[in-house]
Structure 1
Amino acid sequence: MGIHRPMDSRTGLPGKDAVLAACRGFPPIEDIALLDAADELAALHQTREHTPLCALEQTDWHHARLMCDIDEWVVSVTPIPFPGARVHTHTMGQVIDRLAHATVQTYIALAAAPDAFFHEASVQLADLGDAYQDLADELEQRTRRLPEITIPC
């Protein structure tokens, strides 16, 4: 499916609750490309859990494409950062991918791991959600910039 469709005209990024819900497979309330991609990334991480390594080439290609699509979309909906804005260590595609992966790992821990593992996974997911929200807020305030995409998407 991808996020190759006209981008919405509104500015801004979805909040962490919407992104986490998309990673959990809930349909988004708003038609935002990043939420569709977050849902797809989580589904790809689920696929990886039961697919032999030798059969992952197409999955990995789609995974990389989604992360690039997110990066391109975010540039189109966020304001240009101030010249002195600090550079974040990851692209938004990488941040959303980490959230999607952590969501899948949390569900796996819920279904098949001791409570301590589930608790640890839940705390990590909550921390990643908070970090996403902090980054989204800083991008909106123009005090943070994302790293340049150095490989062609």
Structure 2
Amino acid sequence: MRNVENNRIVPERDMLLAACRGLPHEDHPILEAAGELAQLHEIRERTPVCEMAKLDRRRDQLVRSIDLWVALVIPVPSSQAQLHSETVGQLVDRLARLATEAFVPLSAAPEAVFYEAWVQLNELADSYQDLVDGLCDGARRLPGG
């Protein structure tokens, strides 16, 4: 059962996917960070290895900002809440990377290849939604907190 009040403060999967694709979205810190993470992953594909450190530092900053924001707005879970293996920021970063891989270079790929990437992206988006729902309901907790 979703806590409707908390889900308004954490974007749902479809909003996050739209932000990763660069589509217009409401003004929200997680959506802004997701859009920038997707852009950084796209730029990273064309960046020489010796220049990636700057991009990766910015990605780390965005992941930490997502995690800090989530820590401030999500209710404190009980000690019995199930521990998730990664933070929301880490999951959003992976989702942004996968969205970039699925929609930019694979747009001209054979349908079977594009479909497989889309299935992986959809499964990861479902994992994000499950995590957000669990955090809002107090059934999940994040590492490091």
Is TM (by shorter chain) over 0.5?
Answer: yes
Selected match of 2:133 from 130, 137, 140: 137
2:87 aligned residue: 91
Contact 1:109 1:121 in 2 (8 A): no
1:5 aligned residue: none
Unaligned runs of 5+ in 2: none
1:80 aligned residue: 76
Q: Calculate the aligned-residue CA RMSD, in Å.
A: 1.4
The question of 1:20 aligning with 2:17 is answered yes
Which segments of structure 1 move beyond 6 Å, counting only runs of 4 or more?
A: none
Q: Distance in 2 between the 1:104 and 1:112 partners?
A: 14
1:56 aligned residue: 52
TM-score (norm 1): 0.86
How far residue 111 of structure 1 moved from its aligned partner, in angstroms, is: 2.4
Identity of aligned residues (%): 46
Residue 38 of structure 1 aligns with an amino acid whose one-letter code is A
Contact 1:109 1:118 in 2 (8 A): no
TM-score (norm 2): 0.90
Residue 93 of structure 2 aligns with an amino acid whose one-letter code is D
Structure having the larger proportion of residues in helix: 2
Tell me the matched-pair count: 139
Unaligned runs of 5+ in 1: 1-9
- Which one has more relative contact order, counting CA pairs under 8 Å at least 6 apart? 2
Tell me, what secondary structure is at the counterpart of 1:138? helix
How far residue 99 of structure 1 moved from its aligned partner, in angstroms, is: 0.7
Q: Deviations over 1:32-64 (max 9, x none)?
A: 101100000000000011111111121111011
1:124 aligned residue: 120
